[in-house]
Amino acid sequence: MSAPFVGVEGVQALLAGAGYVADDGLASAVFLAYSLPQPLLVEGEPGVGKTELARALAAGLETTFIRLQCYEGIESREALYEWNYLQQLLEIRARESAHSGESAGGTNLFTWNFLQPRPLLRALLESDERAAVLLIDEIDRADEAFEAFLLEFLSDFAITIPELGSVRARVPPVVVITSNRTRELHDALKRRCLYHWVEYPTLERELEIVRLRAPDVGRALAEAVALAVRRLRALDLQKPPGVAESIAWARAVRALGYRELTPHVARQSLGVAIKNRDDWERAVESVDAWLAG
């Protein structure tokens, strides 16, 4: 099948069609991840669009989107597959009663009918005609053993189920792995991936994102919010606002019925962008100073 885009600009256009604004660096990384193919590891501050990238890519490629949300203590069976014990039990009962109390000992209970595929296996099964997009989100939350377990999957795009044999994708899925860098990832994992650090967008790009995501907000208000968020990020806050907060702030001001970001309006709606008390005090002071000036 021919690629659904031509070059890096083609990737940018494909993502833009799905409501995602990617700069050259990120679009190049996606282009390579798709073309080589190789998993793409994206790191960056919260709210810079890591998760959304995978979602938009699947939408743009018109393919299945599969997400594995990582968390502390996640186990491999939750990522691969589980046997449906309840259904197996019901099957045994049904066969016993059909054979009036005889044991259903010879029944094979380890067939595809009783298997519940979890995200990694689903990604292999669904990458059939075209590659599915598999998002392994927030890998840094999982423990190191889980990360090690992923290595084999990422190298071979195959899974062995002892009772059923090996499952391989007809075409390798497009894999996006995200991390918020709460811990350093293993070199072994990094070696298998392309890497991209997602920066906060430039002012122009953030304005573009806000306009795209909140089309009801006028240009002047979108600009004022994008600028205010940029200044807040420069304050060295504990939780600097991400792109999601810019969009939400612009929408909130409109919802309150304003078209301008005055100090009064900013205070009234600041809770959309700032989520920490110490940050709040610093932000209020600064916002008053910029907007009044």
Ligand X SMILES: Nc1ncnc2c1ncn2[C@@H]1O[C@H](COP(=O)(O)OP(=O)(O)OP(=O)(O)O)[C@@H](O)[C@H]1O
| Interface residue with ligand X, options 5, 8, 30, 47 (CB under 6 A) | 47
User: What is the 3-state secondary structure of 188-231?
Assistant: HHHHCCEEEEECCCCHHHHHHHHHHHCCCCCHHHHHHHHHHHHH
CB of 172 to ligand X, least distance (A): 23
**Nearest residue to Mg ion, using CB?**
51
Please say whether the beta carbons of 255 and 216 come within 8 A.
Answer: no
User: d(Cα 165, Cα 111) in Å, to the nearest integer?
Assistant: 11
The 10 Å Cβ neighbour count of residue 202 is 12
Residues in the chain: 293
- From residue 75, alpha-carbon distances to 50, 114, 252 in Å are 23, 20, 40
Give the contact letters, 12-31, x = binds to ligand X (CB under 6 A), - = no. -------xxx----------
- If the CB atoms of residues 51 and 269 are measured against Mg ion, the closer one turns out to be 51
Q: Kindly identify the residues of this chain, within the stretch 68-107, that bind ligand X according to CB under 6 A.
A: none
133 part of the interface to ligand X, by CB under 6 A: no
Q: How many residues bind Mg ion (CB under 5 A)?
A: 1
- If the CB atoms of residues 45 and 91 are measured against ligand X, the closer one turns out to be 45
CB of 216 to Mg ion, least distance (A): 25
> Which of the ranges 44-52, 65-73, 111-119, 164-172 carries the binding residues for ligand X, by CB under 6 A?
44-52
The token pair at 181 is 């860098």
Please say whether the beta carbons of 177 and 41 come within 8 A.
Answer: yes
- If the CB atoms of residues 4 and 19 are measured against ligand X, the closer one turns out to be 19
Give the contact letters, 184-203, x = binds to ligand X (CB under 6 A), - = no. --------------------
- If the CB atoms of residues 69 and 87 are measured against ligand X, the closer one turns out to be 69
> Which of the ranges 5-13, 47-55, 70-78, 150-158 carries the binding residues for Mg ion, by CB under 5 A?
47-55
User: d(Cα 78, Cα 119) in Å, to the nearest integer?
Assistant: 8
Within 8 A by CB and 6+ apart from 111, the residues are 164
- Give CA 57 to chain center in angstroms: 10
> Which of the ranges 36-44, 48-56, 140-148, 195-203 carries the binding residues for Mg ion, by CB under 5 A?
48-56
Quick one: what does residue 122 bind among Mg ion, ligand X, none, with the CB cut-off 5 to 8 Å set by partner type? none
51 part of the interface to Mg ion, by CB under 5 A: yes
Please say whether the beta carbons of 54 and 135 come within 8 A.
Answer: yes
48 part of the interface to ligand X, by CB under 6 A: yes
Give the contact letters, 224-263, x = binds to ligand X (CB under 6 A), - = no. -------------------xx--x----------------
> Going along the chain, which residue ranges are E strands?
40-44, 65-69, 81-83, 115-117, 133-137, 158-161, 165-168, 174-179, 194-198
Please say whether the beta carbons of 126 and 132 come within 8 A.
Answer: yes
Q: Which residues bind ligand X (CB under 6 A)?
A: 19-21, 44, 46-52, 180, 209, 213, 243-244, 247
Binding interface with Mg ion (CB under 5 A): 51
